[in-house]
Structure 1
Amino acid sequence: MEPEIETHITRFLAMLDTAFRRGGEEGLPERFRRAVREAPRHRFVHRFQADRAGPVEDFDAARHLAAVYSDRVLTHVGPDDAALDSTNSQPSYVLWLLHRLGLEPGHRVIEIGSGSGWLAAVMGRLIGDGRVVGVEILGALARRSRDDLAALGIANVAVVEGDGAAGHAAGAPYDRAMVTAAVWDLPAALFDQVAEGGRLLLPIALAGGAGRDCHVAVLRREGDRFRMLEAVPGRFVRFTGPGQEGGAERRRLEELPFWPRIGGPAVLHRPLSLGLRDPARFGGAAYAFRLFLGQTEPGFTVFDDGAGEDPAVSPFGLVDAAARSVALCRPGMLLSYGSPEAVRRLDAAYRRWTALGMPGPAAFELEVVRAEQAPRPGRGLWVENRGASALVWRLAGATSPPRVGRRAAVPDRPPPADPGARIRPPGP
C-alpha cells in the first residue's frame, strides 16, 4: 500500500477506535481493523458529494483521501450530476451497527441496499469462508460495486441487481441480514429467508413522515416472528417499492377532505411546551410522547405548515376524520380545530403515557410479525399495522400498566422523559 494511503488508513482506524470506545466498547475489534484495512474505502468511491450542498467530485487520490477517510457520509452521484438515493454511510456508525449484528466466520449474510459495496466487502472479510449477497436496486451502482470487489479479489461477496423486497432466495437461509434503508413494511421475503435464530438489522421508519429518522433494531428470528434484542435511533434513506409509502408524507391541513367545513381560527388554544419551545430542537418529552402517539394512535399525523422545516421537528397531533376534528401540537401551544374529539383523544393518550411513567422508546419491547398473526391490542400491548407486517409493542417488564387516574390534561410543563435507546451509538 502506498505510504500516503497507509497514513490515511492508519488515521482512519484510530478514529474508528475512538468512536467505538465512545460507544461503550473496548475499542475497534482487531478483526474489524483487519477487515477495514483489507477493504479500503477509497476503492469504492467514484463520483460523489462529501456534503449534500457541496460540489460533485470525481475521486482523485491526491485531493480526496482525507475526505474519504473521515467519519462522514458520502453521497453517490450519477453521470447527470444528480444525487442518487444511496450513500456510503458514516463509517463509525455502520461498523458499530455491524458489530451489534455479530458476524462470525462461515456465516451466510444478505445486505439489502448494498450501494457502493464497501460494507459488503468489509463483511466478506469478517466472515472468512462464509458468503455475502448484496442486493442493490440501482443497476449502475450494482455493476460498479461488482467491478470494485473483483479488483480487490474479494470472491465471497456477490452483488445482484434487483428489488431488495424480494431478498435473494437462491442464497437462503441467511444467518445474518442487514437492511440499509428505513423500512415501513418489513419485506415478506425476510420472514422466509432469515434462518431460525438468525439476526436481522432493520431500520424501522417512524410513523408520521419523520424524514429519514428511524428506530434501528437488531432482531432475532424466533419461529414465525422477529424479536428485538436492542435498538438505537438512526437516519437512513427510505426503502422504496410497493407498500413502503406508509407514514412517509406530512399532511397539510388544507388537504384534509373536511377542512373546508372546520377551517379558520382554532377553537382551542392553550400553552404547551413538551420540550418544544425552540422550533429547531425536537427532543426530550416531545420526542417520547410523539413516538408513543405513533405506536398507539391510528390518527397520529405529522403536519406540514409550509415552513419547509425538517419533518422531524414539524407540528404533530391527531386527526379524527369521522368526527371532523384535529388536535395539533406546535412549539409552545396546542391547537384544536372542529369538534373537540381529537383533543380529547390526545389528552387521554397523554394520561396513559404519564401513568406508564412517560416511557421513551427504550421502555418498549418489540416484535415484528406477519399482519395476519398480529395479536389483539391489550393492556400494555399496542399493535401498529404496517401492511403485510405489524409491529407489536409491549411495555418492558410490566405484566399490566399502572391504573390511569384522574390526571390533568396535557400540561404546559410536563416532567422530562428519556428519549434514549437501550444502547448508545458512537458519533453525534
Structure 2
Amino acid sequence: MDLEFEDHIGRFLAMLDAAFRRRGENGLPERLRQAVREAPRHRFVHRFQADRAGPVEDFEAERHLAAVYSDRVLTHFGPDDAALDSTNSQPSYVLWLLHRLGLEPGHRVIEVGSGSGWLAAVMGWLAGDGRVVGVEILGELARRSRDDLAALGIANVAIVEGDGAAGHAAGAPYDRAMVTAAVWDLPAALFDQVAEGGRLLLPIALAGGAGRDCHVAVLRREGDRFRALEAVPGRFVRFTGPGQERGAERRRLDELPFWPGIGATPTSRRPLSLGARDPARFAGAAYAFRLFLGQTEPGFAAFDGTGEEEGLSASPFGLVDAVVQSVAICRPGMMLGYGSPEAARRLDAAYRRWTALGMPGLAAFELELVRAEQAPRPRPGLWVETRGASALVWRLASAASPPRPGRQDAVRDRPSADPGARITPPGP
C-alpha cells in the first residue's frame, strides 16, 4: 500500500504543480505540497463513483487510488446510493484558491461547508499551531469527516454540524474564512466573525450567471465592509438556507401571469450583433452583457424553457417589468420586446451604456460587500445590488484605461458591437 500510495501521490503532486504553473504560479508551493502529502485525499473518500458513468462503490485502495488521485470532482454518496449535495472539489482549482487566501501558521480559520473534511485537513496542516473549524450542514458528512480526521491524528481541526450561515461564534474572530458554496446573500455572521484585516474567500452567485457560475472573490475585512483583492470565475454548488433562494432563480416566460396576453407577437425588435457571425465571440460577449444586466438592472431575468416557442430556448435573458406588463429578451442576433415598450427601452439603454463603457466583463469592476443598510446610493460608474442582509457594490475600475471587453474566461477578443442601432417596431 505504501509503495502504491507513493506512486499515486507523486503523480498527483506533479499534476498539481503543472496546473499551478498554467495559472501563472511558480509551481505548487512547498508548504502546500507538504500539506497535501500529510492529508491524503483517499482517506476522506468512502462511497463514490470511480467512473462518472459507473456504479456507486465503496472505496478500495487496490482499485481506486488512481481515480481519487486525479484532478476531478468527486461526488459524495450516502448508504442508499443517493448523491449528497456536496462534492470533493477539483483539487487543482480548490487548492489554488486556498493558496490565494494566504493561510499562515497560527491563523484561526473557518471553512463553511467542509464536506468530506479533506480541505479542512489541508488547512489544518498549513495553520500549524492555529485552529481550523469546519461547519457542515449534512450530519452524515460531518460525522464521517470527524472520524477521518481523528484516524489521521489531526487534532487542530474541529468539524461542527450545523448551518454555515451562522458561522461558529465560539472560535471567532477568524483570520481566514472560506465558503465552499456559492452564496447569494453573504451570511451576516461573517461580518462579525472575520477579524479586521482578515481574508474571506467567497464564491458569489451572479444574477446574470448560468447554473453554478459564480464570481470567486478573495475579500479583505476593512472596517464595516469587505473589499475584493482579486476574483476569478468559478463553479460551485449553491449555498442553501433562508435568503439564498434568489441566486438559483430562473423564470419561465410561459409562467408569467401576463405572458399569454403579450407573447404571441413581439412589438419591437432590433439587430444585436455581438459578433453574431462568430458563435464563440457571440457567446462570450452575450455572457458579459448578461452579467452587466444582472449587476445593474433590477428587472433582470434569466429564462428557462419557453414552452412551445422553441426559438427562445437558447439561453435567453433580458428584463421583465410586471407593473406595465413588459418583457424584453436578448437572443442570438436579436433583441425582442413584448407588450409595453418600457422593458425594451430599458434594455436598449443598458446596452448602449455597456458599449459606451467599453463592453466590460466582471474583471473590469472593483467589488465591495457591505451590510444592506450601509449600501451607498448608486451613481454613474457605481452600481449597487441589494440582496437581503448584504449588498454588492460594483465600481468600474478605471475610466482612464478601458477594460478588455467581456473577459470572464469566455471572451478572448473584442466582440463587434452595433451601438448605433435602436429598437424599432417590427415590420408587418
User: What TM-score results when the alignment is normalised by the length of structure 2?
Assistant: 0.90
- Give deviations 1:260-313, integer Å, cap 9, x for gaps: 321212223443343567889974211211111000000010001258x9xx97
Q: Show CA shifts across 1:175-220 (max 9, x none).
A: 0000000000000000000000000000000115621110000000
- The answer to whether the aligner puts 1:417 opposite 2:405 as a matched pair is yes
Letter in 2 for 1:265: T
Which position in structure 2 is the counterpart of 1:384?
A: 385
Q: 1:99 to 1:209 in 2, by over 3 A?
A: closer
Q: In the alignment, which residue of structure 1 is the partner of 2:157?
A: 157
Contact 1:384 1:391 in 2 (8 A): yes
Give the secondary-structure state (helix, strand or coil) at the position aligned to 2:318. strand
Secondary structure of the residue aligned to 2:274 is: coil
Could you tell me which residue of structure 2 aligns to residue 326 of structure 1?
327
Partner of 1:194: 194
SS class of match (1:86): strand
Letter in 2 for 1:140: E
Distance in 2, matches of 1:118 and 1:251, equals: 37
Paired position in structure 1 for 2:181: 181
In 2, are the aligned partners of 1:250 and 1:301 still within 8 Å (CA)? yes
1:374 aligns with 375
AA paired with 2:331? R
Contact 2:209 2:291 in 1 (8 A): no
Classify 1:398/1:270 alpha carbon distance in 2 versus 1 (closer, same or farther; 3 Å).
Answer: closer
Contact 2:366 2:396 in 1 (8 A): yes
Evaluate the alpha carbon distance shift between residue 130 and residue 93 of structure 1 in structure 2; reply closer, same or farther with a 3 A threshold.
same
Partner SS, residue 183 of structure 2: coil
Letter of the structure 2 residue corresponding to residue 129 of structure 1: D
The one-letter amino acid paired with 2:99 is H
Deviations 1:329-352 (A, max 9, x none): 122322211111111111100111
**What CA deviation, in whole Å up to 9, does each residue of 1:17-47 have, x standing for no partner?**
0000000000001111110000000000000
Measured in 2, the distance between the counterparts of 1:265 and 1:98 equals: 51
CA distance in 2, matches of 1:383, 1:51: 44
Find the aligned partners of 1:306 and 1:256 in 2 and give their Cα distance: 11
Q: What amino acid is the match of 2:407?
A: P
Residue aligning to 1:116: 116
- For the residue of structure 2 that corresponds to 1:198, the secondary structure is strand
Taking the aligned partners of 2:302 and 2:408, their CA distance within structure 1 comes to: 21
Percent identical residues: 86
Mapped partners of 2:240, 2:336: distance in 1? 34
Separation in 2, partners of 1:28, 1:223? 33
Deviation track 1:44-77 (CA, whole Å, cap 9, x = no partner) reads 0000135655421211111111110000000001
Deviations 1:226-267 (A, max 9, x none): 000000000000000000001312111111122232121222
Higher relative contact order (CA 8 A, sep 6+): 1
Aligned pairs for 1:40-189 within 5 A: 40-50=40-50, 53-189=53-189
d(CA) in 1 for partners of 2:50, 2:369: 35
Letter in 2 for 1:389: S
Partner of 1:236: 236
SS at match of 1:243: coil
Report the equivalent of 1:405: none
Q: Supply the AA of the counterpart residue of 1:380.
A: G
Secondary structure in structure 1 of the residue aligned to 2:330: strand
Q: Which runs of 4+ in 1 moved over 3 A?
A: 50-54, 275-283
Residue identity matched to 1:378? R
C-alpha separation in 2, matches of 1:44 and 1:282:
42
Deviations 1:66-97 (CA, angstroms, capped at 9, x unpaired): 11000000000111111111000000000000
- The farther-off stretch of 35-44 and 339-348 is 339-348
Name the residue aligned to 2:210: 210
* Partner SS for 1:247: helix
User: How do 1:401-412 and structure 2 match up within 5 A?
Assistant: none
Q: What's the TM-score once normalised by structure 1's chain length?
A: 0.90
Question: Which ranges of structure 1 fall in alignment gaps of 5 or more residues?
Answer: 403-414, 422-428
Q: Which moved more, 1:250-259 or 1:130-139?
A: 250-259
SS of equivalent residue, structure 2 residue 28: coil
